[in-house]
Structure formats: structure tokens, C-alpha cells
Structure 1
Amino acid sequence: MGNCAPAALLAHSYRALVLGAHGAIGAAFVKALQDDVYCSHVETVSRAHNPGFDLLDAASIAALAAASAPHGPYHLMVDATGALMVDGQGPEKSLAALQADHLARAFQINAIGPALVLRHFAPLLAPGASIYAKLSARVGSIADNRKGGWYAYRASKAALNMLLQTAAIELQRKQPALRVVALQPGTVRSALSQPFSAGVAKLLEPAESVAGMLNTLKGLQPKQGAHFVDYQGEQIPW
């Protein structure tokens, strides 16, 4: 998959880092970036590659950032971590099914952990037109919520989006050309989506989703705050 680098990086060599590199989407990102002639190095971070990595352990995140620093700075970072099933439990269909421990766990995995990843890895971004992309979800859009349900997943992704927006505003004070992006990958064929894909009209292969997301990243212009876009390049309301 050549020429998959973001537009601002096409003219020169760049370095990339993928967190969650062992999952279906993360692995597809790694493959696409390795195939890009402009990408000189892809650093991979996952529980499979780094057994000590734990989104719930701030010290492990800080340690991984320190270990990744010598291979940077990075012009592109992709955080492909996250979970729809939490401790074997899927999304709640009703308010009556909501449980405090499940809600807290979803926030830890989908919002708090990724926020700490951003905290520790953002200093490794290259100055100038670099990109920090985090997988989010359309159901994290408050404006687009028309069906209800899925309380913990929706709320944790909405919280993630706010954290990305807030961090973007701060980081861009020193790095105006930085793009922070909440990416919606579509419904991708994976172990994560398998229990919920029966009624999906279009189920994407991981490589197809990643090709769309990379193409979307190519076209994004710097703006104040974060972008919230899907794999087809369509803006999603917060």
C-alpha cells in the first residue's frame, strides 16, 4: 500500500508509532506503514510486543514512552487501543443493565488509559506538521446519538473525544501545525466486532478501513482543536 503517508509527510522520510499494534486494525496500520516507501521506521507497541504494557497501569505507559523515545521523534502516531467487550460483558441495552464497575472499567480502558498514553507519548511527536490519531467511535458522538443504549461504550468514547479536543488545544499552542484526530474506522471484521456484526450493512476488512483512514489523514488541514472524522473522510459532529 504505497503512498499512504499523510500529505504533509509525502515529500520526505518520516517515522511512525502504532499502539495496539497486535489487534486487527493496529496490525493493518503497521502493514500499511511498512509498505509506504516514505516511512523509514514503524515502532510497534502492544501487549503482545511489550508484555508489561497495560492501559490501566500509568507506570507501564510511562516506561514504554521512555523506551520508544530513542526511535523517534515520530511524525505520525496511531493509538489503536480500546475495547467494546469489557471483562466478557458487551454493551448494555438498557439503563437497568448499567453497572458501576462495568462503567468504570470502560472509562479506564477507553478514556483514561488513552489519555495517559497521549500524556506520555505526545512529547515524542516531531515538531511541525505531525499527526496524533486515536481510534474513536461514531457512537461517541453526542449529537449523533439517535438509538440510545450502549451506555458505557458511548460515554467512554465521548469522554475520550473531549480529552482529545482539550489536549489538542493545549499542544497546538506550541505546535500549531499538529493535527490531533479522533478516527472512526467503520465496522471492521475483527474479534472485537464479531458479536455485533450480524446486522451491519457493510463490514470492512482491516486493510480497507486503514487505507481509508490513512487517505483521510492525508487530506486533513491544521485547525484549532481536534478533528473527528470517519474512514471515508466525513466529519462527525461531537
Structure 2
Amino acid sequence: MQYWIMGAGGIGCALARACLARGDQVVIFSRTDPAIDGAEWQAVDNTDQAALTEATAAHALPDRVINTLGMLHQGEQQPEKRIEQLDEAAFSNSLRINTWPTLAMAQLLSARLTRSQTLQFAALSARVGSISDNRAGGWYSYRISKAALNMAIKTIGIEWQRRFPAATIVGLHPGTVATRLSAPFRSGLAEGQLHTPAQAARHLLQVLDRVQPEHSGRLFAWDGQEIQP
């Protein structure tokens, strides 16, 4: 099986290693070289649609594409606790990283897909992007950008069912994973709630192995349970 993996953070690298261990072929699209033996690396900013299109043009479409990009905090940008802390530039930055790359990849895939192609496209989302599950409030930029991502996945799924009925797009919630994204927010977690990147990769691949075209447009947690929008 052939994979395109967008992003070389903790989960992206763990997914690449897990796929390679299964005998799969992997191309990683990221700004920095992950230096993973056996994986091909393409230097690209995944938020730049033109650069992403150019970087993928020489490759045949894979069996699976996984977008692992996600940003909760960056430099001085931190999750908002109150609406007064919301900043337009920070909000736009969250949309640029958490939402746009999935749309950009879906555009270039749609330009190349055929009706019979059984491609799977998965994007890492988050349970906090569920509107119906929001009981704590706060984290405006992250929640809204992930809710927008979930809507993008739903909308693309509807279109693909008409145009590319053999293809699938889903959102995946990896749980709380020991990466830089979750590092400042792990205190108070119950035992067993924090997953290693390797565990998360194994869980996510198990979910993808069960996904079928009729699941397109839906969001699934790491344990296979569907998350309502």
C-alpha cells in the first residue's frame, strides 16, 4: 500500500514508521526532513496550495493520504480562555494550519481522481471540534478551526460520493497523544488517557483498515467510535 503523509510531527513520523513496518511505501510531505529510513521526503509547506500541488505532481496517487497537521499553540499564540483573548491574526493562523491544508489536498486529489479509484483521505481532527460535545467552552481558535475542518470533511464526503464513489474522506481523532501539541495540557489526565505516538499510529491505522466508502464524511475516534459533529 502507498501512503502520502502530510506533516512530520510526532504522529506523522509514528504513522510513517508504522506503515513502513507493515511493508508499505511512504512519501512524507513536510517542511523539515524527518530522516526516516525507507520513507521518501518531499520538502513543502502544506499550507501553500501551489507548492503542495507541485510537490505531488510527479507522484501517482497513493492508496491513502493522511493529513497530520494540527496546531493548538504556537509561539505567543495560546488557547483562549475568554472571548476577550481572541485575536484575528491568531484565529486566521489556526484556520490556515488546522483547516486549509485538508481543503488544498482535497482540491488536488479531486483534479486527479477517477470514479473507480479506491483512495482513502484522512485528516486528524479533534473531539473538541464537535459542536454537540462542547461543554467546557474556551479554546476558540482551535475549536472553531477543527469544527470547520469537520464540516469540510463532511462536505467533501458528500461531493465525493457523487463524483468519486469509490473514494473516502474521514476525520480521525487520535486522542491525547504525547506530542508537543499536548505537552502543556496533560496534567490531571487519568491513567491510560495519554497515548504514545506509536500507540496512536497503530490505533489510527486500525480505524482506517475498517473504513469503507459509506463512512465518507464522518469523524471517528482512535477507538473506532464515531464522534457526532
TM-score, length-normalised on structure 2?
A: 0.88
Partners of 2:170 and 2:215 lie apart in 1 by: 11
Which residue of 43, 60, 74 maps to 2:51? 60
Q: Are 1:115 and 2:106 an aligned pair? A: no
How far 1:15 sits from its partner (Å)?
1.2
The question of whether the paired residues in 2 share the 8 Å contact of 1:128 and 1:178 is answered with yes
Give the SS at the match of 1:85.
coil
CA contact (8 A) 1:182 1:229 kept: yes
Q: Give the Cα–Cα distance (whole angstroms) in 2 for the partners of residues 45 and 36 of structure 1.
A: 20
2:77 to 69, 84, 89: 89
1:200, CA displacement in angstroms? 2.2
**Corresponding residue of 2:171:** 182
Contact 1:75-1:125 within 8 A present in 2 as well:
no
The more displaced of 207-216 and 171-180 is 171-180
Contact 2:29 2:43 in 1 (8 A): no
Q: Displacement, 1:55?
A: 3.6
Q: Equivalences for 1:164-203 in 2 at 5 Å?
A: 164-201=153-190, 202-203=193-194
Deviation of residue 99 (structure 1)? 1.1
Q: Retained in 2: the 8 A contact 1:55–1:114?
A: no
> What root-mean-square deviation, in Å, do the aligned CA atoms of Structure 1 and Structure 2 show?
1.9
Distance of 1:235 and 1:52 partners within structure 2: 34
**Alignment partner, residue 37 of structure 2:** none
Q: Map of 1:201-212 to 2, 5 A cutoff?
A: 201=190, 202-212=193-203
Deviations 1:161-180 (A, max 9, x none): 11111112212223212221
Q: Which of 211, 229, 233 does residue 224 from structure 2 map onto?
A: 233
Residue 104 (structure 1) aligned with residue 92 (structure 2):
yes
- Structure 1, unaligned stretches of length 5 or more? 1-13
Q: What TM-score do you get using the length of structure 1 for normalisation?
A: 0.85
Per the TM alignment, residue 113 of structure 1 is displaced from its structure 2 partner at its CA by 2.9
Does the CA-based 8 Å contact 2:170-2:216 persist in structure 1? no
Q: Secondary structure at the match of 2:176?
A: coil
Unaligned runs of 5+ in 2: 34-40
Pick closer, same or farther for the CA change 1:123–1:29 going to 2, 3 Å: farther
**What's 1:7 paired with?**
none
Distance in 1, Cα, partners of 2:216 & 2:180: 32
Compute the displacement of 1:51 (Å).
7.8
Query: By how many angstroms is 1:111 displaced?
Result: 0.9
**The one of 140, 159, 168 aligned to 2:148:** 159
Give 1:144's aligned residue. Answer: 133
User: Match of 1:213, as an amino acid?
Assistant: L
Residues 192-237 of structure 1, C-alpha deviations (whole Å, 9 max, x = no match): 1101111222110011111111111112232164120011001000
